[in-house]
Structure 1
Amino acid sequence: MVAEYIPPEKISLSGSSREIGLEHGRRLAGKIRSQMQIYESMFQHTSKLDWPSVRSIAREYASTIERLTPDLYEEMRGIAEGAGLVDVLDVVALNCRSEIALGLFSDGCTSLGWRMRREGEGDVVLAQNWDWVESVKKNLVMMSIETGGLPKVFMVTEAGIIGKIGFNSSSVGVCLNAIRAKPADSSKIPVHLALRICLSSPSAADAVSKLESLGGVASSAHILIADPSGPKGLELSPLGNAYLDPDDRGMVFHTNHFLSNKYVRETGWLSGSSIRLARVEELAREMDEKGEKVDGEILRKSIFADGFNAPQAICAQEDERLPVQSRVRTVFSIAMRLGEGSTPKGEVVWGRPGSGEEGPILDMPW
């Protein structure tokens, strides 16, 4: 039975950090509380942590966030107040979910960045399937944020989380691939805040410089960043970073294991990660050789609807053999086009592309 399509909520926030946080919390209070319940169950399953224990870990990150990114900390305080939560630690816990789980969450996700080489196609395409547990889908939102003279942010995020997947008005875009690796370091900024910093930057180079100046990230992750100059893979970890440049076709691909970063110990890839990586490379290069026009629709049909090696396919399906807290599927698909001197655009599809259960194309900006 196909689940009923319920369109995501779209919210536009502007003002000071506090004003943005307050409105975020007020508008999404129910979703934020729901996310806390979902992650409490997942933390119990993966790490044997109840919510008071989670909040205790979050306290360590809160002091770091307040010290290194006081504007983002003020936004989180506003979210907590607006949502009527006990205090800011509940919001910090959501934004540090990757760090608190110590690399044990089994997020999927397949991403690609591609600088078009053919005449008349100088734009950069950035796209991914975001794979996670179905229960969070009802708490996802499409959000815009405008503050303090920074580029305007357009992203798809989880309620209560201030940085995620999307692009900004300066044509800087980001995708995210989770990496299962230890350690985590609470003296550094959480990965989801790193995404927000990228989305608040006027260029990809400026974003990388800012992350380095802040001392790096608290846990391992891959951020695929792009602007009109092209895509770049950021294999980030608390012990050191590695960077991936485009191949000879202008492409960067990533799934859920590091390709070049040898600083950390990975705790076990998703078994399909290397298969998905080879598959997305194969399909993209076939498209390139055929000379097909690359847009959101063709990407969804030719790559992101692919079911090879199901259930751990590019278009992921739930594995019924796993506990419900670990059953990952493609929750949404996003394709962005970032061009020099043109308005950046994105297309989002809620649900698994090509499955018949997905919703209509949702445009960004809206």
Structure 2
Amino acid sequence: MDIESFPLYDIEGDARQCGQQYGRAAGERIDLSLRTYRAAFERVGLSWDRTRALARRFMPVIEAFDAGMLREIEGVAEGAGVPPEDIVALNARSEMLYAFQQLEATEPPDGCTGVVVMPSASREGRLIHAQNWDWRVESLELGIVLRIQPAKGPSMLTFAEAGTLARAGLNSAGIAVTGNFIKADSDGRQQGVPLALIRRGILQSELYANALGVVCRTARSISNNMIVTHAEGEAVSLETCPEQVFWQQPEGGILVHANHFKTPAALARVVDRSLETTPDSLYRDRRVTEALHNRRAEGLLGEQDVLDALQDRFGAPRAVCRSPSAGPGGASSATVATIVMDPAARKMRIAPAPFRAHRFTEYSL
């Protein structure tokens, strides 16, 4: 699976127009996404008919959250020539998969390590926001980059799996977001807005306060850690579970979060089930934090310092930079991409499969 870069698709216009352009341009990858996740749903006991029925239940929730997003999803479906509930299922795949207890027996462990370096600690005086995204190896063939010029609101640049509206990205207002897996015992007990759409809501925000508000006031089905930053020197790690949001801010100009709850309030109030599947999160988080603070003691940090920390191979294959390894059901997981964003310059660089020889491709607004 030799992927040198992820394709870039430019879309513009109102929500339905953006969706139609997206669906037409990325139709082949969307079809591959659907085939990949149809197999994943079947492994947890969900037939495709049942998956579609569950997806339809999310449609009024999405419309109440942001009617434009539902119109865009309908446009993607129209452009790709599939029913709208298929695109909803892709955007709600985490909610629909992780709500099933048998997932751990069939799917590879999720991961991700997020990093922020504040302007005060940065050699260039600009905030650095980066992430290793660990997930199914097949996602290498699903990854895309969308450059979106909506009829209203900020323009957006987002890395995503084909058919979904956002994963990691930034906007023309200087706001950026990444998301990491975490799991609480309360996950799956209520229906909420899919995480992909919450991240898209962050990117649609003109104001940083509004971006944070999208997370804090939106009902969720499952837990997630979202790191939300602003180019002018703001960063917060939001540990979310269905009922609550906990926050962590940078220390010494550095913020790191992997895949377990860290904030004191969360540790006191949440039954953290993340470590059942991602025990490596404990040392990944610590090793990246220590590496960056050690470098910081020698001087200001640059982008390469962050990328070096994200290349750490201790504990391989379950390392910060994860090489392919099989999960319980036989599917393999790995670090699918390293993403590094410069929100002030409105650009991001992405390297597919950083566990082997790789190169970064730059995308900008």
* TM-score normalised per structure 2: 0.90
Out of 93, 96, 118, the position equivalent to 2:92 is 96
- CA 1:117–1:80: 2 relative to 1, 3 Å: same
Structure 2: stretches of 5+ with no match in the other structure: none
- The answer to whether the aligner puts 1:70 opposite 2:70 as a matched pair is no
Out of 61, 64, 69, the position equivalent to 2:58 is 61
CA contact (8 A) 1:124 1:231 kept: no
1:282 matched residue in structure 2: 290
2:213 matched residue in structure 1: 209
Instruction: Give, in angstroms, the shift of residue 312 of structure 1.
Output: 0.9
- CA 1:292–1:212: 2 relative to 1, 3 Å: closer
Instruction: Give, in angstroms, the shift of residue 44 of structure 1.
Output: 2.5
CA contact (8 A) 1:172 1:338 kept: yes
Greater relative contact order (CA < 8 Å, ≥ 6 in sequence): 2
Instruction: Give, in angstroms, the shift of residue 120 of structure 1.
Output: 6.7
> Counterparts of 1:12-31 in structure 2 under 5 Å?
12-31=10-29
> Counterparts of 1:52-201 in structure 2 under 5 Å?
52-85=49-82, 87-102=83-98, 104=103, 106-118=109-121, 121-181=124-184, 182-184=186-188, 187-201=191-205
CA contact (8 A) 2:165 2:196 kept: yes
Query: Alignment partner of 2:238: what SS?
Result: strand
> Counterparts of 1:324-343 in structure 2 under 5 Å?
324-325=330-331, 327-339=332-344, 343=345
State the distance in 1 between where 2:178 and 2:349 align. Answer: 14
2:362 matched residue in structure 1: 363
Which residue identity lines up with residue 190 of structure 1 in the other structure? P
Out of 28, 35, 38, the position equivalent to 1:37 is 35
1:304 matched residue in structure 2: 310
Instruction: Give, in angstroms, the shift of residue 231 of structure 1.
Output: 1.2
- CA 1:321–1:173: 2 relative to 1, 3 Å: closer
Superposition RMSD on alpha carbons, in Å?
A: 2.0
State the distance in 2 between where 1:8 and 1:209 align. Answer: 31
1:192-234: CA deviations, max 9, x gaps?
A: 1010011111233221123334x33221100111002321001
State the distance in 2 between where 1:35 and 1:229 align. Answer: 36
State the distance in 1 between where 2:121 and 2:182 align. Answer: 33
- The answer to whether the aligner puts 1:317 opposite 2:316 as a matched pair is no
1:64-106: CA deviations, max 9, x gaps?
A: 0012210000000111111111x21111110001100125463
Of all paired residues, the percent bearing the same amino acid is 26
Query: Alignment partner of 1:162: what SS?
Result: coil
* TM-score normalised per structure 1: 0.90
Instruction: Give, in angstroms, the shift of residue 31 of structure 1.
Output: 1.1
Structure 1: stretches of 5+ with no match in the other structure: none
Query: Alignment partner of 2:98: what SS?
Result: coil
- CA 1:199–1:185: 2 relative to 1, 3 Å: farther
1:94-150: CA deviations, max 9, x gaps?
A: 000110012546311111112132587432111011111111211211111111331
Instruction: Give, in angstroms, the shift of residue 186 of structure 1.
Output: 5.3
Number of corresponding residues: 351
Instruction: Give, in angstroms, the shift of residue 345 of structure 1.
Output: 2.3
1:255-310: CA deviations, max 9, x gaps?
A: 11111335554432412111111111111111211215412x3322x211110111
Query: Alignment partner of 2:317: what SS?
Result: coil
Instruction: Give, in angstroms, the shift of residue 6 of structure 1.
Output: 4.1
1:43-73: CA deviations, max 9, x gaps?
A: 233x221211211221221110012210000
State the distance in 2 between where 1:292 and 1:322 align. Answer: 42
Query: Alignment partner of 2:152: what SS?
Result: coil
CA contact (8 A) 2:327 2:333 kept: no
- CA 1:77–1:292: 2 relative to 1, 3 Å: same
State the distance in 2 between where 1:39 and 1:5 align. Answer: 20
CA contact (8 A) 1:144 1:154 kept: yes
- CA 1:336–1:321: 2 relative to 1, 3 Å: closer
State the distance in 2 between where 1:269 and 1:336 align. Answer: 28
2:349 matched residue in structure 1: 347
State the distance in 2 between where 1:44 and 1:119 align. Answer: 46
Which residue identity lines up with residue 283 of structure 2 in the other structure? I
Which residue identity lines up with residue 332 of structure 1 in the other structure? A
- CA 1:235–1:83: 2 relative to 1, 3 Å: same
> Counterparts of 1:233-272 in structure 2 under 5 Å?
233-247=237-251, 249-260=252-263, 261=266, 264-267=270-273, 268-272=276-280
Query: Alignment partner of 2:325: what SS?
Result: coil
State the distance in 1 between where 2:8 and 2:79 align. Answer: 18
CA contact (8 A) 1:223 1:233 kept: yes
State the distance in 1 between where 2:96 and 2:223 align. Answer: 12
- CA 1:148–1:211: 2 relative to 1, 3 Å: farther
CA contact (8 A) 1:231 1:251 kept: no
Which residue identity lines up with residue 178 of structure 2 in the other structure? C
State the distance in 1 between where 2:194 and 2:349 align. Answer: 27
CA contact (8 A) 1:239 1:264 kept: no
Which residue identity lines up with residue 145 of structure 2 in the other structure? M
Which residue identity lines up with residue 94 of structure 1 in the other structure? L
CA contact (8 A) 1:127 1:336 kept: yes
